[in-house]
Amino acid sequence: MCTPHPANRFLGLIRHNRRVLPRYRIRQVINYINLSTPLGLLVGVLGRAKISHEKDGLFVAEQCRLMLPDAGAFTIGNVVITGQTIARLQGFFPEILDHEAAHSSQWAWLGPLFLPLYVIWMGWSMLRTGNRATRNYLERWAGLKRGGYE
């Protein structure tokens, strides 16, 4: 089997184009421009993940070795990254992709502010409830139940 050079694989993923509804196309373009999607793809390639296209211009990067195998998913730009497979996650949380898609939209709204704001809200939530999601505004916006949170 021939494995493409990581840099070519990365560029090939970026070049790939697919029919996407206009509202998701806007998110897709913004997340390329703010560099969050390239960053997410880079994390996926570095973690030797299996990267594939999902609905609405999203990518999934599965079995990423930079993630704990039993952890959930984490989204950077349009890339949903997980140490396991999305199918397995969906077995527990059927709406997990909708939850992660909301995080992708948050990246489009917030750009590079996403990460610091996420950390601040997570700290606030930990202080208030001892749980990283319950009072985390970005998790509430994405839907706590859809994300597998109480």
In angstroms, give the least distance from the CB of 147 to Zn ion: 4
Task: Mark out the alpha helices in 51-95 (DSSP H runs).
Answer: 86-92
Instruction: Name residues contacting Zn ion, limited to 25-44 (CB under 5 A).
Output: none
In angstroms, give the least distance from the CB of 99 to Zn ion: 5
Which residue's CB is nearer to Zn ion, number 37 or number 99? 99
For residue 73, list its beta bridge partners. Answer: 82
| Whole-number Å distance between alpha carbons of 7 and 15 | 12
- Contact segment (CB under 5 A) with Zn ion among 9-17, 33-41, 89-97, 134-142 equals 134-142
Q: Is position 72 an interface residue for Zn ion (rule: CB under 5 A)?
A: no
Which residue's CB is nearer to Zn ion, number 62 or number 139? 139
| Whole-number Å distance between alpha carbons of 47 and 69 | 12
Which residue's CB is nearer to Zn ion, number 63 or number 134? 134
Residues 6+ apart with CB under 8 A from 86: 54, 60, 62, 73, 80, 96, 97
The only residue of 49, 147, 148, 150 in contact with Zn ion, by rule CB under 5 A:
147
Q: What kind and span of H or E run contains 110?
A: helix 96-110
Question: Letter for the amino acid at 104?
Answer: S
Which residue's CB is nearer to Zn ion, number 66 or number 144? 144
Residues that bind Zn ion (CB under 5 A): 139, 142, 147
